[in-house]
Amino acid sequence: MALLPVIVECHEQITQLDAILTKTLPESNDGWRKKSTKAIVSLHQDAKIESITKILRNHIGSLTFYCAAVSSTLWPLTDAMLCKIRQWLSAPDPSTNYQKALKLRQAKTGLWFIESNEFTRWKNNATSPFWLYGIPGCGKTVLSSTILQNVLQHCQDDPGKVAVYFFFDFNDKEKQDPEKMLRSLLCQLSQQCIKIPPSLETLFFSCESGQRQPSAHGLLDTLRQMILELPQVYILLDALDECLLRTDLMDILETIAGWRLQNLHVLVTSRRERDIEDSIETFADIQHRICLQSIVVDKDIQQYVRQRLSDDKRLIKWKRDAAIMGDIEAALMNGAKGMFRWAVCQLDELGKCVNRKMLRKALATLPSSLDETYDRILSSISEEYSQYAIRILRWLTFSTRQLSLHEVAEVVAIDIEREPAFDRDEVLEDPMEVLNICSSLITVNKEDQWPGPSRQIAALAHYSVKEYLISARMWTGKAAKYSMHGNICHEAISTSCLRYLLQFQQPEL
């Protein structure tokens, strides 16, 4: 299937090369005039020969890969060794972020990019890296999932095409480290190889068979070798701005771009941060740096709004009135200004309206920014829930690991100002109540990578939520009591942990 075009083109290139060499290489019985003529002709054929050689060299890699696939029985995959290597790499699983983003996506959103000539050229030809950037909340991660889904489908029927990816995530410490990204890419590449890649095996044994950890340089060099062993490789990286070690990350990306590999396709997304832009400008062509402006994002937002109005149980009651539906759509499209996240929050709030009067008032007083949106959400939390909300947001903002929904349900019941600090009667009977308490500020998703049954993870809904909670902008205003000061929150969390553990202390006999 995919092998036949490679063989056909190899035949065509070799035929061309043979014709050129026949015209240019002197033979023993040629006279001096004929030899001179061939020498002159050869001067004009160097570029053509170099081009043919380059094409053949690329196809040799493809043929080697396909031959390995056909004769894979001769190279049995050592499952035990590969499992050992993957455990040693200890890479985070980005598929959870991918699946989460896919669930947020509405049908037909992102098609403006998927169907663009720029994306098609990038997908079919290894060119300079692609950078998609935009304002906070404009839907970059959801668009990344759409692009990734398309690329995975593009690779599905051809074993010579491999796609790997990574989602940087402010909610997960494991996904904020560029070295963890490299480990994840290596693991994903190894999963799609016929046998254990020699370069990965070499790295493992050079580290005393996994007794010590590899250096970032070792990981990066191994990534290059593994890419060279494959015909076509696609790398997609989302949310570069959510990486904690940005300087290290941009150095890695500059190194990868500097390889100038003919079989490598790279696409990244981020906000338009100065350090990211300065770095990417050094290796990405200007036509491959695309801003997600309102003019292109608004179509996706409109599609999302219409889908929510049609399917959301809390909004479907307005479906009977076309005028009301039109008013909602018009108000949201006028206020979104390219912010997907803003539209999501407004629809969540509009879902609470029980009659036309409430709805019209809400539409007439829509917040103008994400900050104002979050301020209103916090200000609307009832006083009886405010301390619960503070505890939930504190833990989700500063916890060093992800928290399960059941853990958050118990966090609510810890008050370090009282004795005993933990009151079991305050534990949420239904852990999903955290969504009612904190509304659009948090989200709950399934985490399938843990042993045993999947568990539900509670997290802040968006990077902009965390930025708002810890910013000085929160220090004044109606929602000031929800502002998160790092030193105070860390002290409260550590004290809560100790006081919680003390309840299990057995009295001395």
Please tell me the total count of domains within the chain.
4
* Tokens linked to 458: 């509670």
Q: Do 309 and 450 share a domain, yes or no?
A: no
* Inter-residue contact 114 to 259 (CB < 8 Å): no
- Which H helix or E strand runs over 147? helix 140-156
Q: Do 99 and 183 share a domain, yes or no?
A: yes
Task: Determine, yes or no, domain membership for 45.
Answer: yes
Rg (CA), the chain: 28
Q: Do 11 and 148 share a domain, yes or no?
A: no
Structural domain ending residue among the three candidates 36, 70, 104: 70
Query: How far, CA to CA in Å, does 208 sit from each of 114, 213, 215, 475?
Result: 45, 9, 13, 53
* Inter-residue contact 431 to 408 (CB < 8 Å): yes
Q: Which domain holds residue 62?
A: 3-70
* Inter-residue contact 101 to 139 (CB < 8 Å): no
Task: Determine, yes or no, domain membership for 375.
Answer: no
Q: Do 495 and 355 share a domain, yes or no?
A: no
Structural domain ending residue among the three candidates 25, 49, 70: 70
Label each residue of 25-73 as H, E or C: CCCCCCCHHHHHHHHHHHHCCHHHHHHHHHHHHHHHHHHHHHHHHHCHH
Distance CA 107, CA 315 (A): 19
CATH of the domain at 416: 1.10.10
Distance CA 482, CA 488 (A): 12
Q: Do 351 and 479 share a domain, yes or no?
A: no
Q: Do 321 and 277 share a domain, yes or no?
A: no
Structural domain ending residue among the three candidates 29, 52, 70: 70
Q: Is the pTM of this model over 0.85?
A: no
Q: Do 251 and 267 share a domain, yes or no?
A: yes
Task: Determine, yes or no, domain membership for 372.
Answer: no
Q: How many CB atoms lie within 10 A of CB 335?
A: 17
Instruction: Locate all alpha helices (DSSP H) within 235-355, ordered by sequence.
Output: 246-259, 274-280, 294-311, 322-336, 340-350
CA geometry: angle 160, 58, 6, nearest 5 deg: 60
Instruction: Locate all alpha helices (DSSP H) within 174-273, ordered by sequence.
Output: 178-191, 198-206, 216-228, 246-259
Strand order in the sheet with 130-134: 161-167, 232-238, 264-271, 130-134, 289-291
Task: Determine, yes or no, domain membership for 508.
Answer: no
111 alpha-carbon distance from chain centroid: 18
pLDDT of residue 74: 40
Instruction: Locate all alpha helices (DSSP H) within 380-462, ordered by sequence.
Output: 383-398, 405-411, 433-438
Q: Along the chain (509 residues), what's the average pLDDT of each consecutive run of 10 residues?
A: 64 77 63 55 64 72 60 54 91 95 88 93 86 94 96 89 96 95 97 85 92 96 95 96 97 96 96 96 92 88 93 93 95 94 95 95 95 95 95 96 94 92 94 94 76 75 96 88 95 94 69
pLDDT of residue 151: 97
Q: Do 153 and 249 share a domain, yes or no?
A: yes
Q: Do 391 and 358 share a domain, yes or no?
A: no
Task: Determine, yes or no, domain membership for 266.
Answer: yes
Q: Do 452 and 468 share a domain, yes or no?
A: yes
- Which H helix or E strand runs over 23? helix 3-24
Q: Do 461 and 352 share a domain, yes or no?
A: no
* Inter-residue contact 131 to 119 (CB < 8 Å): no
Task: Determine, yes or no, domain membership for 507.
Answer: no
- Which residues pair with residue 403 across a beta bridge? 458
pLDDT of residue 196: 84
* Inter-residue contact 341 to 463 (CB < 8 Å): no
Task: Determine, yes or no, domain membership for 270.
Answer: yes
* Tokens linked to 390: 């503070």
End-to-end CA distance of the chain: 77
Task: Determine, yes or no, domain membership for 452.
Answer: yes
pLDDT of residue 147: 97
Q: Do 392 and 462 share a domain, yes or no?
A: yes
